Amino acid sequence: MNSVFSNKKAICIFVLPTFLLFIVIVFVPIVVSSYYSLLDWNGVGHGTFIGLQNYVEMFTSSRALNAMKNSLLFAAASIFIQLPISLLLALILASGVKGEGFYRSVYFIPVLISTVVVAQLWSKIYNADYGLLNTFLKSVGLGSWAQDWLGQTNTALVASFIPTLWQYVGYHMLLMYAGAKSVSKDILEAAKIDGASGPRIAFSITIPLMKPILKVCLIFSMIGALKVFDLIYVLTGGGPFFTTEVPSTLMYTTIFDTYRYGYGSAISVFIILECLFFTLLINKFFKTE
């Protein structure tokens, strides 16, 4: 075994297939997209080179800026609403409640369901005419609150946050649960003997020791929110009147509805750089801690 690991040639050979796959499927498309983002191209024939004009248009277009704002709001909701809920659930489950295994599975089930199915489910819940939400409100006497959740400009964005947050709570909970469980039992026992209460233990011992896992969850949650596409696309298509539009749905519309491959590629490069930027930011934040 040791001889295999220490043999650099062996390492190279075993890593090579996946490395090639990664280069071809991930790296090359990014480079090609970056090239397309410098063109004005309708997808057929040759495009005209226009340099950074697509980027200038993107940062001066109110529609693109609105999309970016929406994706940042999604990211904020993911970090400040979804992660705390996941953390709370993880800590409760890790402290040894009855039915720990059962709850762990139940909370994880939404993660397993395809995003399109989740979107269809919630669009039926939000349906203005026969949806579960409006029917429930009417039955408890709050009929005046029943409205067209996904069709009104003032409710659509918040309404589309909820399925996004709901679906991945279990995923982050599971990661944090694993992190919480890995805290040494000795420390916890010592703290209990010293008379520390549950919340005190959580804040002073468990959470600080879970920092690496928290960092991973933060990065995944943030990037997932910045890139969100299928849920928004199926729920609202970016509407009504662009109130739920995010960069990825704008990119889709730009490329496939208006045939502007250059501008669409610029948006995709922006999303990549945005995710990279925030990842580095979060890494830096955790390093200085």
Partner 1 sequence: MRSGMLDGCKVNGKIYTLPCYTHLANLYVNTALFKKAGAKIPTTYQELFDAGTKLKAAGITPAVIGEKDRWPGMYWFDIMAMRQAGNSACIEAFKNPTKFNSEDFIKAADKLQKLAKAGFFNSSMFSMSYDEMLAAFNAGKAAMLFQANWVNAGIEADDSKTKGNVEVVAFPVFQDGKGKATEFFGGGQDGFYVNNATKNPKEAVGFLTYLSEELGTQGYLAGAGLPCWNTDSLDTSKLSSLDKEDSKLLSTGKSFITWWDNILPAESAETHKNLIAELLASKITPQEFCKQMAQLKATELTF
Query: Which residues contact partner 1 by CB under 8 A?
Result: 123, 126-129, 148-152, 156, 236-237, 239-241, 253, 257-260
| Shortest separation between residue 166's beta carbon and partner 1, angstroms | 19
Angle at 252 between CA 249 and CA 258, to 5 degrees: 125
Give the H/E segment covering residue 40.
strand 39-40
Distance, in Å, from the CA atom of 186 to the CA atom of 189, rounded to the nearest integer, reads 5
| Shortest separation between residue 70's beta carbon and partner 1, angstroms | 17
Residues belonging to the chain: 289
Per the listing, tokens 């690496």 go with 212
Pick 107 or 149: Cβ nearer partner 1: 149
Pick 234 or 272: Cβ nearer partner 1: 234
| Shortest separation between residue 248's beta carbon and partner 1, angstroms | 17
Pick 128 or 219: Cβ nearer partner 1: 128
**Residues 92-101: contacts with CB within 8 Å, 24+ apart?**
93/173, 93/177, 94/177, 94/180, 94/181, 94/206, 95/198
Contact assessment for residue 161 and residue 210, using Cβ atoms and an 8 Å cutoff: no
Distance, in Å, from the CA atom of 186 to the CA atom of 77, rounded to the nearest integer, reads 36
| Shortest separation between residue 218's beta carbon and partner 1, angstroms | 33
Pick 44 or 193: Cβ nearer partner 1: 44
| Shortest separation between residue 114's beta carbon and partner 1, angstroms | 18
| Shortest separation between residue 162's beta carbon and partner 1, angstroms | 15
Pick 34 or 127: Cβ nearer partner 1: 127
* Closest C-alpha to 71, from 172, 261, 221, 253: 221
| Shortest separation between residue 258's beta carbon and partner 1, angstroms | 4
Contact assessment for residue 104 and residue 177, using Cβ atoms and an 8 Å cutoff: yes
Pick 128 or 183: Cβ nearer partner 1: 128
| Shortest separation between residue 235's beta carbon and partner 1, angstroms | 9
Pick 144 or 288: Cβ nearer partner 1: 144
Q: Which residues, 6+ apart, have CB-to-CB distance to 250 below 8 Å?
A: 63, 64, 67, 238, 267
Distance, in Å, from the CA atom of 275 to the CA atom of 160, rounded to the nearest integer, reads 21
Pick 36 or 177: Cβ nearer partner 1: 36
The packing angle between helices 156-181 and 100-112, to 10°, is 140
